[in-house]
Amino acid sequence: MHEDIRHCSACGHAVEFRIPDGDHLPRHLCPACGHIQYRNPKVIVGVIPEASDGRVLMCRRNIEPRLGLWTFPAGFMEMGETSGQGAAREAMEEAQADVEVDALLMMINVPYVSQVYMIHRGRLRSDHHGPTLESSETRLLREDEIPWDEIAFPTIWHSLRRFFEDRRKGQYQIHALDLAFRAKPPQRPEVAGDDPGTL
């Protein structure tokens, strides 16, 4: 049983953790009202915002986990939005940045935390950006200025690498990546799937 699911969210009764009839995995099931409370993987949406001079907007995290490390704007997708809409929202919330979100760049499976990342490219509509509750500092950085050893998450690191590789080639595409296991920072994770080459 998951520690946050002890009671039925519909009726408040104590739940059981067992395989419902016709299912194949144990679920949080209410013996009083029959409601099943599913747990599902979560989607993280993000954007790599590019300024007109080619620098990208990076944020220093002001919250846990990985407080003090660097990321581009990204966060949990909300109900009723597309990945692009969510990415634009995150850019405003985390960096006060007005971003025109472009095509998807990267789709990453992170099974060890039950997450899927959807990372877009994007362009800053204005030069304005700045700190927020979530970011202690925001900066426009060239590729050689990116603090590669102080990136908050492997997903962010891989997405940035792919972005700059594609930009050098002058040809963007959508990349897919499976991260095979949890890496302790600053180690790099092993990767599986279509992307074994960049580490």
123 part of the interface to its own copies, by CB under 8 A: no
Smallest distance from its own copies to CB 162, Å: 13
Out of 25, 52, 64, 171, name the contact with its own copies by CB under 8 A: 25
Name the residue nearer to its own copies (CB basis): 42 or 142.
42
144 part of the interface to its own copies, by CB under 8 A: no
* Rounded-to-integer distance, Cα 183 and Cα 134, Å: 23
119 part of the interface to its own copies, by CB under 8 A: no
State the binding string over 39-78 for its own copies (x if CB under 8 A, else -): xxxxx--------------------------------xxx
CA separation, residue 99 to residues 20, 57, 159, 174 (Å): 45, 10, 17, 19
Q: Which residues of 91-111 are buried (b: 16+ CB within 10 A; e: fewer)?
A: beebbebbbebbebbbbbbbe
155 part of the interface to its own copies, by CB under 8 A: no
* Rounded-to-integer distance, Cα 140 and Cα 57, Å: 5
* Rounded-to-integer distance, Cα 117 and Cα 109, Å: 7
Out of 19, 32, 173, 186, name the contact with its own copies by CB under 8 A: 173
27 part of the interface to its own copies, by CB under 8 A: no
93 part of the interface to its own copies, by CB under 8 A: yes
SS3 179: strand
Residue 57, judged by CB atoms within 10 A of its CB (0-12, 13-18, 19+), counts as buried
Query: Interface residues with its own copies (CB under 8 A)?
Result: 3-15, 22, 24-25, 28, 35, 37-43, 76-85, 93, 103-104, 107, 109, 111-112, 114, 116, 118, 133, 173-176, 178, 193-194
